[in-house]
C-alpha cells in the first residue's frame, strides 16, 4: 500500500483527499497536516473526512516524520507552495500539487524544485477536464484560424481566484496549439464600447455563485455555426481521485515537472 501525506487536510479538498486515499485499494493515509493555528489540530483524520476513525491525528508539518511516506499531495494556498516544495525536497519525496492561482515567482520556484524531485502540477485533476483540454486543442487545430474562441467558467462563491486555473489551462492549451501568446490575446471580461471583436482574441468570462463545484465551456463560434465543449463537475471527489491517481503514477519517476496529460497519456493522442 502506498503511504500518502495530505497537506491542508482540514479544507474541503483536504477532506475529499483523505477519503479518496482511504478508499483506494492501493493507497493508505500516512499523515494529514494543518496549520499550527488550526482548531482541527489533533482531530482524527478519518473522523474529519467521515470515513471512520483511522488513528491518525491532524498535525503540523513540523510534527510529521516523512521517512515512510511515498508521496505528498498539496492542495493548500499559493503562499504555502514554496515552503511545501522545500519540505518535499528536504525529504526527497515526490509531490502532487493542485494549488491554483500561482504567480510568476511561485511558478518559477515550482520549476526549480522539479530539478530535484518528481512533481505533478495541474490546474485540475479531473480526468474529464483534461480530456476537455485535449479536445479543445483538437478543435482549435481545425477551427481556430476562423472561429471566435470564448471560455466560460462558473464556480462557487468561495473561490478566490479568477479566471479559474482550469480556464487558464484551457486558454493556454488553445493558444499553444494556435502558436499565439495568451498574454497578448486574452481578454478577461468586456464592458462599454469595446468595438468589433478581433478574431485572434481568446475571451474569458467568469461567473461566481452558490455551491457550483466547477463548470467550464469552450466556445468556438463561426458565422452560421458553433461548437461548445463543456465539462461539469458535481463533486470534488473527482478531483481527489485524480490526484490520487497522479500520486500512484508518480512513483519511481525521475525528477521533473509532469502534468495530468502525462498521467493520462493524453500527450500521446
Same structural domain, 142 and 222? yes
User: What percent of the chain is predicted at pLDDT more than 70?
Assistant: 100
Alpha-carbon distance 233 to 128, whole Å?
9
> In CATH, what number is assigned to the domain containing residue 141?
3.30.360.10
Confidence (pLDDT) at 224 = 96
pLDDT cut 90: percent of the chain above it = 88
pLDDT at 269 over 80: no
Nearest alpha carbon to residue 236 among 156, 120, 147, 150: 156
End-to-end CA distance of the chain: 31
Question: Is the domain of 228 the same as that of 241?
Answer: no
Instruction: Give the contacts of 128 (CB within 8 A, at least 6 positions apart).
Output: 231, 233, 238
How far apart are alpha carbons 25 and 212 in whole angstroms? Answer: 30
- Domain containing 111 equals 2-121+236-268
What confidence tier does 114 reach under pLDDT thresholds 50, 70, 90? Answer: very high
Model confidence at 185: pLDDT above 90: yes
pLDDT band at 86 (very low <50, low <70, confident <90, very high): very high
Radius of gyration, CA atoms only, the chain: 20
Half-sphere exposure of residue 196, counting CA atoms within 13 Å on the CB side? 2
pLDDT at 43: 93
- Is 155 found in the same domain as 72? no
Query: In this structure, are 46 and 136 located in the same domain?
Result: no
In this prediction, residue 268 carries a pLDDT of 75
SS3 (DSSP) at 237:
helix
Q: What are phi and psi of 202, to 5 degrees?
A: -120, 110
Q: What's the CATH code of the domain at 15?
A: 3.40.50.720
Pair (30, 105) in one structural domain: yes
Whether residues 106 and 155 share a domain: the answer is no
Q: How far is CA 260 from the centre of its chain?
A: 9
Same domain, residue pair 223 and 246:
no
pLDDT digits (tens, 9 = 90+) for 14-43: 999 999 999 999 999 999 999 888 888 999
Instruction: Give me the active site residues, please.
Output: 155, 159
- CA atoms within a 13 Å half-sphere pointing along the CA-CB vector of 7: 24
Domain total of the chain: 2
The pLDDT value given to residue 174: 98
Do 29 and 109 belong to one domain? yes
Kindly report the pTM of this predicted structure. 0.84
The rounded distance, in Å, linking the Cα atoms of 91 and 236 is 29
State the pLDDT at residue 242.
96
CA distances to 72, 77, 174, 241, 245 from 89, rounded to whole Å, are 11, 18, 33, 24, 21
Confidence of residue 218 (pLDDT cuts 50, 70, 90): very high
- What grid cell was written down for 261? 496529460
**Do 212 and 224 fall into the same domain?**
yes
| pLDDT confidence band for 101 (50 / 70 / 90) | confident
Whether 211 and 81 map to the same domain: the answer is no
Query: Are residues 6 and 110 located together in one domain of the fold?
Result: yes
pLDDT tier for residue 143 given thresholds of 50, 70 and 90: very high
At 267 the pLDDT is 80
Asked if 22 and 51 touch (Cβ cutoff 8 Å), the reply is yes
pLDDT tens per residue, range 221-261 = 999 999 999 999 999 899 999 999 999 999 999 999 999 99
The reply to whether 132 and 228 lie within a common domain is yes
81 has pLDDT over 80: yes
Strands 214-222 and 148-155, by their bridges, are antiparallel
**DSSP label of 253:** P
pLDDT of residue 95: 98
- HSE (CB half, 13 Å, CA atoms) of 99? 25
What is residue 202's predicted lDDT score, i.e. its pLDDT? 98
Amino acid at each position: 500500500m502506498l503511504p500518502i501525506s495530505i497537506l491542508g487536510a482540514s479544507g474541503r479538498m483536504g477532506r475529499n483527499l483523505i477519503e479518496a486515499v482511504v478508499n483506494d485499494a492501493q493507497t493508505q493515509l500516512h499523515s494529514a497536516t494543518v496549520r499550527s493555528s488550526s482548531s482541527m489540530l489533533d482531530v482524527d483524520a478519518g473522523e474529519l473526512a467521515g470515513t471512520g476513525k483511522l488513528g491518525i491525528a491532524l498535525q503540523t508539518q513540523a510534527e510529521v516524520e516523512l521517512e515512510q511516506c511515498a508521496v505528498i499531495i498539496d492542495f493548500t494556498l499559493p503562499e504555502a507552495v514554496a515552503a511545501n516544495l522545500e519540505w518535499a525536497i528536504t525529504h526527497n519525496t515526490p509531490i502532487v500539487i493542485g494549488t491554483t492561482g500561482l504567480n510568476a515567482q511561485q511558478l518559477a520556484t515550482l520549476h526549480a524544485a522539479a530539478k530535484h524531485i518528481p512533481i505533478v502540477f495541474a490546474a485540475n485533476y479531473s480526468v474529464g477536464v483534461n480530456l476537455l483540454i485535449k479536445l479543445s486543442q483538437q478543435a482549435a487545430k481545425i477551427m481556430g484560424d476562423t472561429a471566435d474562441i470564448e471560455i466560460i467558467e462558473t464556480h462557487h462563491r468561495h473561490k478566490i481566484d479568477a479566471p479559474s486555473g482550469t480556464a487558464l489551462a484551457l486558454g493556454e492549451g488553445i493558444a499553444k496549439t494556435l502558436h499565439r501568446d495568451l498574454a497578448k490575446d486574452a481578454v478577461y471580461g468586456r464592458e462599454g464600447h469595446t468595438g468589433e471583436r478581433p478574431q485572434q482574441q481568446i475571451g474569458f468570462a467568469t461567473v461566481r455563485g452558490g455551491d457550483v463545484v466547477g463548470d467550464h465551456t469552450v466556445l468556438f463560434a463561426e458565422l452560421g455555426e458553433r461548437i461548445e465543449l463543456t465539462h461539469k463537475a458535481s463533486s470534488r471527489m473527482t478531483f481527489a481521485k485524480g490526484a490520487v491517481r497522479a500520486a500512484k503514477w508518480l512513483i519511481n519517476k525521475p525528477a521533473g515537472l509532469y502534468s495530468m496529460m502525462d498521467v493520462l497519456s493524453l500527450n500521446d493522442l
